[in-house]
Amino acid sequence: MKVRRKKRGWKRVQREIRYWFASVALRGLPQCVRFIPFAWTFSFIGGIGGKLAWRFAGKYKKKMLDNLTFTFHNSLTDEEKGRIAQESFINMLRGFMETFYCVPFYGKKFDPWVALEGRENLEQALALGKGAIGVSAHLGTFTLIGAKLNACGFHLTWMMGGQPHPRLAQVWRQMGERVGTSFIMSDSLFTFHREILRVLRKGEIMGFICDENQKQGGVVVEFLGRAMALPVGPAAYHLKTGAPILPLFIVRQGDRGHKVIIDPPLKVRLSGDEERDVFTIVEQIARVMESYIKRYPGQWSWISKRRIRTRTRRKTFLEGEASTLS
């Protein structure tokens, strides 16, 4: 496995300067939006701003169209794929801005726009006293899930990984804490493992975003028409603690509304073979995510690498599949 070398000298200085400015900008956005009416921003993105951004999307447009073709093949026309890609792109812009408006205004403005469906499923799961494992995807404005649950008396902690710089990770953590959401960083194996177990033992919700290919580790399953190595965290902690796994998604309703949907816990039949059980659980999570993505294709982020590679030693039970991804 190729190890990425740390940048040194002037390149390292440039990197630090770049991420310092990025972190300052992210911290400043929630303050700036206080003076810009949300209706103006939302209308601009849904109108001329979104159309201009889509026109100059370039490589992102190509990636999205390629991924839609890979998933739906000829079941959709080129016009339908273009419409879904543009809708997804504009919804990504809306979600990005909604995240920053949420920080200062959630309790006053956003909470009435966000409905909660399936609260009884979460209450029944937490009543077992083992906490709950929430599994979700980059569907809708998923950053609002924790704020809505916090407003309803529940506490969600997200597993955060893949941040390019600690400064950005710290900014996202601080923003989440302002709306009642916590984050656990995947920077130290033993630290985050202990913190996840602490969340579950406290009887709270531990959330995982499960729709990204893992460059290291993961279990190879079929997802949206291709083999991908999806994260094993939900499966591993379910087997270790017995905490129920709840699908947890948010979908856009009309122009400004949202609905957080909590499905009943996954019913998992365990075989006693840990490798097979992990594969079974991850595959079951993949099927649930697929069902939501195909139901709301214009609300999922279709921007990803068209050719996926990974390194994993975990066994896959896909017929005819090795650990090499296409």
The confidence band for 300, taking pLDDT boundaries of 50, 70 and 90, is very high
Give pTM, 2 decimals.
0.87
**Mean confidence (pLDDT) of the chain:** 86
So what's the pLDDT on residue 78? 92
User: In terms of pLDDT, which residue wins out, 160 or 158?
Assistant: 158
Contact 137, 224 (CB under 8 A): no
Residues 131 and 85: their CA atoms lie apart, in Å, by 37
With a cut of 70, say whether residue 189 has pLDDT above it. Answer: no
Q: Would you state the structure tokens that stand for residue 300, as one six-digit string?
A: 């999922």
Share of the chain above pLDDT 90, in %: 47
Q: Where are the alpha helices (DSSP H) in the chain?
A: 9-32, 38-46, 48-55, 59-72, 78-105, 119-126, 145-151, 166-178, 189-201, 233-241, 274-295
Residues in the chain: 326
Contact 197, 122 (CB under 8 A): no
So what's the pLDDT on residue 2? 40
So what's the pLDDT on residue 153? 94
Which range has the worst mean pLDDT, 60-69, 104-113, 272-281? 104-113
With a cut of 80, say whether residue 232 has pLDDT above it. Answer: yes
With a cut of 50, say whether residue 131 has pLDDT above it. Answer: yes
Q: Distance of CA 79 to CAs 52, 65, 85, 254, Å?
A: 19, 10, 10, 22
Which 8-state DSSP code applies to residue 299? G
Q: Give me the mean pLDDT over the 3-10 stretch.
A: 55
User: In terms of pLDDT, which residue wins out, 127 or 29?
Assistant: 127
Q: Give me the mean pLDDT over the 9-18 stretch.
A: 74
Q: Would you state the structure tokens that stand for residue 54, as one six-digit string?
A: 């889509």
With a cut of 50, say whether residue 326 has pLDDT above it. Answer: no
User: In terms of pLDDT, which residue wins out, 60 or 201?
Assistant: 201
With a cut of 50, say whether residue 324 has pLDDT above it. Answer: no
CA atoms within 13 A on the CB side of 100: 22
CA dihedral over 274, 277, 283, 284, signed as positive or negative: negative
CA 76 to chain centre: 25
